[in-house]
């Protein structure tokens, strides 16, 4: 899943934190039975310039990953590559060696694919996209055999701060969690759930750690939603609409349980849904069994909710007020 964040200080790539689109090479090795990775903590390969290290881009990304682990737990088999354009070949070599070791991917095909300009989720394309926008880009490239490689490409001179980068990492680790609980490489639920969940959790934890301000990010997302047109909120802006839809769902669950402070009901229900849908591959049935309504009915309800919030003169004040109240109902630290 490649992504880049549509937050207000950055312009986007794919999970704008991230995105989810998996890069999968064709071809297989001579054996289809491979041992799975055993590392319980992420293994990092960092290859960036001295100036990027001096600004703390690698350490802040690790800080965000640690925050993700604190919430989701440590997931075995995570490999994280943090690199700039000068390290593309070295990163591709190491990544493909690991793929050949743990998965059915062929090394030569993998290496060629990761350096191919036509592979938008490849290691080279990820960092090229970063340089074209002076931004960050990341991709969670598959999940075969419990191997979760995450490539994180930095531009030579990012305009966004290293602190903001930590939130990016939380979003990406949320995708690893989703893949970890899925029986298939392709996640079974809608893109707005995939990306909306990662974005919402990253914004909640990121705000708690002072990487950003939750209400400000939600207001920015709301403005993007309402500016996209009223007929395609879930398809036109899946990251933004998804984060709002899942915040609305969490609030709906909390309210039904008479919870107004330190609420965890909605948070846990979303985790339950991701696990059951991932295990069964049946998102629709899992959604209805977990939340007591069909996904289609929920989307209709959320659509009315979002379009009902005052947007006079493009103002997002009402949206910010709702987001602040919601955020204040959650635990102070996840």
Residues 34 and 55 in one domain: yes
Indicate whether 79 belongs to any domain.
yes
Per-residue pLDDT of the chain (334 residues; tens, 9 = 90+): 444 333 333 323 333 333 333 333 333 333 468 999 999 999 999 999 999 999 999 999 999 999 999 999 999 999 999 999 999 999 999 999 999 999 999 999 999 999 999 998 899 999 999 999 998 888 777 678 999 999 889 999 998 888 888 998 999 999 999 999 998 878 999 999 999 999 999 999 999 999 999 999 999 999 999 988 776 899 999 999 999 999 999 999 999 999 999 999 999 999 999 999 999 999 999 999 999 999 999 999 999 999 999 988 778 899 999 999 999 999 999 9
Indicate whether 185 belongs to any domain.
no
d(CA 24, CA 142): 6
Residues 36 and 162 in one domain: yes
Exposure string (b/e) for 68-78, b if CB count within 10 Å is 16 or more? bbebbeebebb
Q: Which of 149, 180, 211 is the last residue of a domain?
A: 180
Question: How confident is the model at residue 32, as a pLDDT?
Answer: 61
Question: How confident is the model at residue 7, as a pLDDT?
Answer: 35
The model scores a pTM over 0.75: yes
Assigned token pair, 169: 């990492």
Give the domain extent around 284: 191-328
Residues 211 and 164 in one domain: no
Residues 144 and 228 in one domain: no
Q: Which of 157, 180, 203 is the last residue of a domain?
A: 180
Residues 136 and 225 in one domain: no
Show contacts of 54-60: CB within 8 Å, 24+ apart. 55/162, 56/162, 57/82, 57/154, 57/158, 57/162, 57/165, 58/82, 59/162, 60/162, 60/163, 60/165, 60/166, 60/169
Residues 121 and 213 in one domain: no
Question: How confident is the model at residue 280, as a pLDDT?
Answer: 95
Residues 157 and 216 in one domain: no
The count of domains in the chain is 2
Residues 215 and 173 in one domain: no
Residues 32 and 7 in one domain: yes
Residues 270 and 232 in one domain: yes
Question: How confident is the model at residue 313, as a pLDDT?
Answer: 74
Residues 209 and 111 in one domain: no
d(CA 144, CA 32): 11
């Amino acid at each position: 899943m490649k992504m880049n964040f549509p937050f207000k200080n950055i312009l986007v790539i794919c999970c704008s934190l991230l995105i989810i689109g998996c890069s999968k090479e064709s071809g297989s090795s001579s054996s289809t039975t491979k041992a799975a990775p055993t590392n319980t903590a992420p293994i990092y390969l960092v290859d960036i310039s001295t100036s990027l290290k001096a600004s703390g881009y690698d350490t802040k990304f690790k800080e965000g990953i640690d925050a993700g682990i604190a919430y989701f737990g440590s997931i075995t088999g995570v490999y994280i590559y943090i690199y700039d354009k000068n390290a593309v070949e070295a990163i591709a070599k190491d990544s493909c060696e690991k793929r050949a070791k743990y998965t059915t991917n062929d090394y030569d095909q993998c290496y060629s694919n990761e350096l191919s300009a036509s592979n938008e989720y490849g290691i080279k394309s990820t960092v090229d996209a970063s340089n074209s926008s002076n931004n960050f880009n990341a991709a969670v490239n598959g999940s075969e055999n419990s191997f979760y490689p995450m490539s994180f490409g930095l531009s030579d001179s990012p305009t966004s701060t290293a602190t903001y980068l930590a939130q990016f990492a939380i979003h990406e680790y949320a995708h690893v969690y989703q893949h970890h609980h899925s029986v298939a490489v392709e996640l079974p639920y809608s893109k707005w759930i995939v990306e909306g969940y990662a974005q919402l959790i990253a914004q909640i934890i990121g705000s708690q750690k002072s990487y950003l301000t939750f209400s400000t990010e939600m207001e920015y997302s709301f403005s993007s939603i309402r500016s996209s047109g009223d007929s395609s909120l879930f398809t036109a802006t899946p990251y933004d609409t998804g984060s709002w839809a899942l915040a609305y769902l969490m609030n709906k669950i909390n309210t039904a349980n008479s919870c107004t402070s330190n609420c965890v009901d909605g948070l846990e229900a979303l985790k339950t849904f991701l696990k059951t849908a991932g295990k069964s591959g049946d998102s629709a049935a899992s959604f209805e069994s977990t939340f007591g309504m069909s996904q289609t009915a929920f989307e209709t309800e959320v659509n009315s909710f979002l379009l009902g919030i005052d947007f006079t003169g493009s103002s997002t004040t009402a949206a910010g007020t709702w987001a602040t109240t919601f955020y204040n109902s959650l635990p102070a630290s996840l």
